[in-house]
Chains A and B, each alone.
Chain A
């Protein structure tokens, strides 16, 4: 299938640093994920108190999407036909373990609904959709490794079948203190001077955070 789509923006969050379209925009040494994510929230002046109710996977996915979409989504008053297709390795296991602890002891058995709701990996897509008014296609997948080829074809299919105008693709992995988010926006036209062709090579470069630095 020959189909020319473009990657117009990206956001990578790893090792306590944020990279927007390849450029290092924030770094915080010696912090755990909880401290780091809060620092990113403050630094980029996100005003969204619900952020603090999210589990760590949702915080990670939310921040990476938010920083990228800031430039794209002008208003959440209007609808934005941006599909969200994410994948990771550990599903919601980080929160699953936390929830399991709440039901492990017969004498201290207080399952929390606010924790339970995050024991599904697609909740992070829900959070992003609510914030940006994305009444659009969405799916969450689990793979052992970043599925560059699968992601590319799935996004192309959504654009070609006119089920979405743009597709926010991403790898949003978090388990305990190991995390990494790589999200990027795919669209039909080359919308800015950074735009790169949407193909396996560029996606792989993006995943290793070398696309815009080569």
Chain B
């Protein structure tokens, strides 16, 4: 018998707030974390969604007096803290750590050893802080990392190696990533507009999200979510461009539905990736149409948070769960006119809708894709 695996608690630290409730309010009020910033590297000005360091330090000082942590580490500790306080860590507890670039900005400092920028070193530091007993599992699979980490937690709990898992996903805005996306001519000159006819590219952002995942049904709360199916299939097409047919995303979603044995019309909401590059959004529209999901309400949260890389998949799952709890949709910010070649149902109103199942998807460099299906447990 396959175990049922659930998400029972979640949290996040973003420019819009340091807990889920404040983030939810911000999204319902159409607020965005994206602001204009000046002078990083060769960029005179650019839009990004960045956490205010003063606010972060203030919040952090309330939970921890030691300040020898990087910004990303502070955000991670702040996000994990409430989950660790509510749920016990044992020898059968996995710590799944998702990031694309971790503390990459430490490479800027010549006085700091390159070793400090190792992802495993960062994971170890956070793991030691909370007293996790097993080696952290670092998921670093480009922009699907955050949602793939949920898959990995589910899969590893199914094997019996672990009984439960804490999953954290985080990335920060750095000159490293900004200059890289800029060299790819992928940066939008204004706040990003996923799926819109006038979209011109990505806006970057930083955030951390965290969830607690368990197979123990005694730990279920009202509004827990069961992870009912997942898939993470490669495009096998190009290392930086998405497949024109959306093949890997199509297959990832198919795989999730097959495992969940769920009819497609049960899904009431898709929390998609929507980076606002021309090719990504077009590819998603093609994949959703191939699956007959084109009428399901869909959004991208990139207009609120920017693209938070390895954090995005988990952060968007956390807000999607909130959306399902409240039975209320989140407007896809930045969107006004359909800019993909095939119809999709981009959300433009905070409509009330009964939502028992939702789908989360993401895609990234290296041709990777991930899709996970969630069921609301009542």
**A: which residues have CB within 8 A of B?**
1, 84, 89-91, 93, 96-97, 99-100, 103-104, 106, 109, 111-113, 116-117, 119-123, 125-127, 129-130, 132-145, 147, 149-150, 153-154, 156-158, 161, 163
Q: A100–B156 Cα gap in the complex (Å)?
A: 35
CB-nearest residue of chain A relative to B2? A161
B180 at interface by CB-CB < 8 Å:
yes
B231 at interface by CB-CB < 8 Å:
yes
Interface residues of B in 147-163 (CB under 8 A from A): 148, 152, 155-156, 158-161
Q: Which of B79-87, B132-140, B204-212 contacts A (4 or more CB under 8 A)?
A: B132-140
What 7 pairs across the A-B complex have the smallest Cβ distances?
Answer: A126-B366, A116-B180, A142-B138, A153-B159, A129-B236, A111-B183, A129-B234
Question: Out of A91, A127, A157, which one reaches B140, CB within 8 Å?
Answer: A91
Please determine whether A144 and B124 come into contact, CB atoms closer than 8 angstroms: yes
* Residues of the B chain whose Cβ atoms lie less than 8 Å from the Cβ of A144: 120, 124, 135
Q: A134–B237 Cα gap in the complex (Å)?
A: 9
Please determine whether A154 and B156 come into contact, CB atoms closer than 8 angstroms: yes
B42 at interface by CB-CB < 8 Å:
yes
Q: A163–B140 Cα gap in the complex (Å)?
A: 20
Please determine whether B42 and A130 come into contact, CB atoms closer than 8 angstroms: no
Please determine whether A125 and B366 come into contact, CB atoms closer than 8 angstroms: yes
Q: A68–B47 Cα gap in the complex (Å)?
A: 46
Tell which of B117, B160, B179, B183 has the most Cβ of chain A within 10 Å: B183
Q: A143–B236 Cα gap in the complex (Å)?
A: 25
* Residues of the A chain whose Cβ atoms lie less than 8 Å from the Cβ of B119: 91, 142
Please determine whether A111 and B140 come into contact, CB atoms closer than 8 angstroms: no
Q: A154–B139 Cα gap in the complex (Å)?
A: 13
B175 at interface by CB-CB < 8 Å:
yes
Question: Out of B155, B184, B236, B251, which one reaches A116, CB within 8 Å?
Answer: B184
Q: A126–B141 Cα gap in the complex (Å)?
A: 10
Please determine whether B240 and A117 come into contact, CB atoms closer than 8 angstroms: yes
Given A109-B42, A142-B140, A126 and B367 contact (CB-CB distance below 8 Å): yes
B100 at interface by CB-CB < 8 Å:
yes
Please determine whether A137 and B137 come into contact, CB atoms closer than 8 angstroms: no
Please determine whether A126 and B234 come into contact, CB atoms closer than 8 angstroms: yes
Q: How far is the CB of A1 from chain B (nearest CB, A)?
A: 6
Q: How far is the CB of B232 from chain A (nearest CB, A)?
A: 6
